[in-house]
A = this chain, B = another copy of it.
Amino acid sequence: MKGSMIKPKRKKKAAARYWVGFDLGGTKMMATVYNGAFQPLASAKAKTQVNAGPRAVLGRIRETISTALAEAKAPPRGLSGIGVGCPGVLDLDRGIILEAPNLRWKRVPLRDLLSDWFHCRVVLANDVDAGTFGEYRFGAGRGARTLLGVFPGTGIGGGCVYDGQLLRGKTGSAMEIGHVPVRENGRLCGCGRRGCLEALAGRLAISAEVAQAVFRGEAPFLAANGGADLKKLKSGLLAKSIKAGDKAVERIIRDAMRLMGRAIGGVVNLLAPDVVVLGGGLIEAIPRLALAEVRLGLKETTMASFIRQLKVVEAQLGDDATTLGAAALAAEKA
């Protein structure tokens, strides 16, 4: 167009827009500022310190977001929205955290508080849903039609993006794959029922079985490194124990992952996803072993017509999935 007499029309350059994704956990919190293309500009972290009480935690949330915005040099007027991944039971319509045992919160109107402080729209989402949406938009699930996300942590969280739409229950919680029944009269679950997947294959359940193996002298590496204390038997240590040759630990984890695969297969028969994304600490620690066993379990229960086009993959975004997904959800609703 150089030298042309006719100038191409230019749109007025729009003011740069920013989004904040916030991950509110029981032990730590993180705010990340994204530009309009969802590239991260700056992050800030803090300990949640639940013991200090709700008011103190809310103050720290405000501070953490402000710090991230300042570091990103994002002018306040450009802030288009904040998305928050929250634990607990939510009232999505009114933007309230109804009950979050992790935080010891009841009825906190987080959406309106944030919106007063930062003068922008705020969207709350279940934390696992936000993480699932993050992987769908920017991670291992890009291009999927229907995506199932499964995140074994202390419990086992699940999320589903169905044909582009995040499936969310009325109270912000759905896809409780950790509480799908897998065994009649099975082990007692934290939710009060018996035989939930989580009670048999969650990290806490795994650690409890591993601790017994340690006690019985079947896991020499762990016996010398951490012992039978459930608080110490976390994913990283379990991975080391397998590497060091603790066969009993490997068997316990393989059985749990296979059982999880069986339960996921049942969900595949319901929702016919084309991609299952597995993430969370345990998967990150032993991705190959975990995915291999999940695939075996899946084959036992998934109908042939659904398994053909199914990909089972590891999550790509780690802790960023939640902030990215939350920010994208805030942007989507804008």
Which of chain B's residues has its CB closest to A272's CB? B169
Contact partners of A162 in chain B: CB under 8 A: 162, 167
Whether a CB of chain B sits under 8 angstroms from the CB of A181 is yes
Contact partners of A173 in chain B: CB under 8 A: 272, 305
8 Å CB contact of A176 from B145, B180, B270: B270
Which of chain B's residues has its CB closest to A262's CB? B181
> In chain A between 150 and 205, which residues have their CB closer than 8 angstroms to a CB of chain B?
158, 160, 162-163, 165, 167, 169-171, 173-177, 179-184, 191-194
- Distance in angstroms from A224 CB to nearest chain B CB is 35
Whether a CB of chain B sits under 8 angstroms from the CB of A89 is yes
8 Å CB contact of A181 from B175, B301, B309: B301
Whether a CB of chain B sits under 8 angstroms from the CB of A314 is no
Whether a CB of chain B sits under 8 angstroms from the CB of A279 is no
Pairwise interchain contact A170-B145, C-beta atoms closer than 8 A: yes
Which of chain B's residues has its CB closest to A98's CB? B305
Pairwise interchain contact A183-B180, C-beta atoms closer than 8 A: no
With A167-B162, A170-B145, A306-B169 as contacts: A180 and B300 at CB distance below 8 Å: no
8 Å CB contact of A272 from B146, B170, B192, B301: B170
Whether a CB of chain B sits under 8 angstroms from the CB of A44 is no
Most buried by B among A89, A266, A306: A266
Q: Mark A95-106, 1 if CB is under 8 A from B, else 0.
A: 000000000000
Distance in angstroms between the alpha carbons of A146 and B306 in the assembled complex: 23
Whether a CB of chain B sits under 8 angstroms from the CB of A56 is no
Distance in angstroms between the alpha carbons of A176 and B267 in the assembled complex: 9
> In chain A between 90 and 138, which residues have their CB closer than 8 angstroms to a CB of chain B?
none
> In chain A between 241 and 293, which residues have their CB closer than 8 angstroms to a CB of chain B?
262-263, 265-267, 269-272, 274
Distance in angstroms between the alpha carbons of A230 and B158 in the assembled complex: 41
Pairwise interchain contact B305-A180, C-beta atoms closer than 8 A: no
Contact partners of A158 in chain B: CB under 8 A: 270
With A183-B184, A306-B169 as contacts: A174 and B272 at CB distance below 8 Å: yes
Contact partners of A301 in chain B: CB under 8 A: 179, 181, 193
Pairwise interchain contact A300-B174, C-beta atoms closer than 8 A: no
Whether a CB of chain B sits under 8 angstroms from the CB of A304 is yes
With A181-B262, A262-B181, A262-B184 as contacts: A171 and B270 at CB distance below 8 Å: no
Whether a CB of chain B sits under 8 angstroms from the CB of A303 is yes
Which of chain B's residues has its CB closest to A174's CB? B272
Which of chain B's residues has its CB closest to A266's CB? B180
- Distance in angstroms from A202 CB to nearest chain B CB is 15
Which of chain B's residues has its CB closest to A301's CB? B181
Pairwise interchain contact A176-B269, C-beta atoms closer than 8 A: yes
With A167-B271, A184-B183 as contacts: A176 and B303 at CB distance below 8 Å: yes
Pairwise interchain contact B180-A269, C-beta atoms closer than 8 A: yes
Pairwise interchain contact B304-A266, C-beta atoms closer than 8 A: no
Which of chain B's residues has its CB closest to A308's CB? B171
Contact partners of A191 in chain B: CB under 8 A: 303-304
Contact partners of A272 in chain B: CB under 8 A: 169-171, 173-174
Which 10 interchain pairs have the tightest Cβ spacing?
A169-B272, A180-B266, A174-B272, A176-B269, A181-B301, A179-B269, A181-B266, A175-B270, A179-B303, A181-B262
